[in-house]
């Protein structure tokens, strides 16, 4: 995967981390209590792998868990936070995904997430810290996002993504339902993570793939692909490497977008330079393309197109829509389960 990322334009498009998830470990720690890689799957160990990944101009991510065991039953980091952080740093790891399985209480869960954050910082190595903290809290209590952002770089709020439209739809529905509590906290240094991009697998149609890419850009989501780059269609590759969508996703203002209208799904995201990204999502699953018409006064509290703006279509294909005035209406044709992503630039 690292070879593919370097050779086939992924790194140049901005994808820089290659991340190992659960099950990389040996079933026990070594005599010094340190985590060790499965000797069959990683015969050279993680340090050697990290060196190789770095030689390709990429960064390595790894996985551990706040509790006694990982979700798949391998050794967890409970009571080993400092040692594990030092181990990861000594291996040259650049990102830690820290899961929340097998913690005995919510107090220990929160304490573990805080302690690992401090331990990572103490190593002196820059390591992105990806948490599942709010997801494991949510069934019982409302997460304190101010505290979570103080310790984590991004955090999962909802169930794992699956390679299916129903999964993507449930993530978007959940996000819209909770936007009043989660949108305002997102910004440089800390992001809501709706989980991985599954574009390039088997479960999504083309329109649904466009929807995931467009909506992850609107949500200011970390873009992590879960796919096999050896078996990806040219269309999926083109979509995932679309520089205009990635530019919206990575906009330096760092504000997360939100839903404006739920009858047909109209979302907007404020961008730097007083621009806006706008997504129109057709959540019908039957029938043909539908026309959605809305007034431009809806966007940016009436300011996005005041007194005039130019509109560029980014997805499903690049197109210049021309200049509009503040009181214009826009009519957008969208396929079922598809999304049209627009960029509105002030004039």
Which residues form the catalytic set? Answer: 99, 160
Write the CB contacts of 282 (distance below 8 Å, at least 6 apart in sequence): 264, 265, 289, 290, 292, 334, 335, 336, 337, 338, 339
- Rounded-to-integer distance, Cα 115 and Cα 147, Å: 13
Tokens describing residue 143: 């997460």
Which own/partner pairs from 30-38 qualify as long-range (CB within 8 Å, at least 24 positions apart)?
33/80, 33/83, 34/83, 34/84, 34/87, 35/64, 35/75, 35/80, 35/84, 35/87
Q: Are 298 and 261 contacting, i.e. CB atoms less than 8 angstroms apart? A: yes
- Rounded-to-integer distance, Cα 65 and Cα 113, Å: 9
């Amino acid at each position: 995967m690292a070879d593919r990322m370097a050779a086939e334009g992924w790194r140049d498009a901005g994808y820089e981390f290659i991340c190992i998830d659960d099950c990389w470990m040996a079933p026990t720690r070594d005599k010094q209590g340190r985590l060790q890689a499965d000797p069959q799957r990683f015969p050279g160990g993680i340090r050697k792998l990290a060196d190789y990944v770095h030689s390709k101009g990429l960064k390595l991510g790894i996985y551990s868990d706040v509790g006694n065991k990982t979700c798949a039953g391998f050794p967890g980091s409970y009571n080993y936070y400092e040692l594990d952080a030092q181990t990861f740093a000594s291996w040259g790891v650049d990102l830690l995904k820290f899961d929340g399985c097998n913690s005995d209480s919510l107090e220990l869960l929160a304490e573990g997430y805080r302690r690992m954050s401090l331990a990572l910082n103490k190593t002196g190595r820059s390591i992105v810290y990806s948490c599942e903290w709010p997801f494991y809290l949510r069934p019982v209590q409302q997460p304190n996002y101010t505290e979570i952002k103080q310790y984590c770089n991004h955090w999962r709020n909802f169930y794992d993504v699956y390679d299916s439209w129903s999964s993507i739809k449930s993530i978007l529905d959940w996000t819209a339902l909770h936007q009043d509590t989660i949108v305002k906290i997102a910004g440089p240094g800390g992001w809501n993570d709706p989980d991985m991009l599954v574009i390039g697998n088997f479960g999504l149609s083309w329109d649904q793939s466009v929807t995931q890419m467009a909506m992850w850009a609107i949500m200011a989501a970390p873009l992590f692909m879960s796919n096999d780059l050896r078996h990806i269609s040219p269309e999926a590759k083109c979509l995932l490497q679309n520089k205009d969508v990635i530019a919206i996703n990575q906009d330096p203002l760092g504000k997360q977008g939100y839903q404006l209208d739920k009858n047909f799904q109209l979302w907007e995201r404020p961008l730097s330079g007083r621009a806006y990204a706008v997504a129109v999502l057709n959540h019908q699953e039957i029938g043909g393309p539908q026309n959605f018409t809305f007034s431009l006064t809806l966007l940016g509290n009436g300011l996005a197109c005041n007194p005039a703006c130019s509109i560029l279509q980014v997805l499903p294909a690049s197109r210049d829509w021309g200049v509009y005035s503040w009181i214009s209406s826009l009519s957008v044709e969208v396929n079922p389960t598809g999304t049209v992503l627009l960029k509105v630039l002030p004039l």
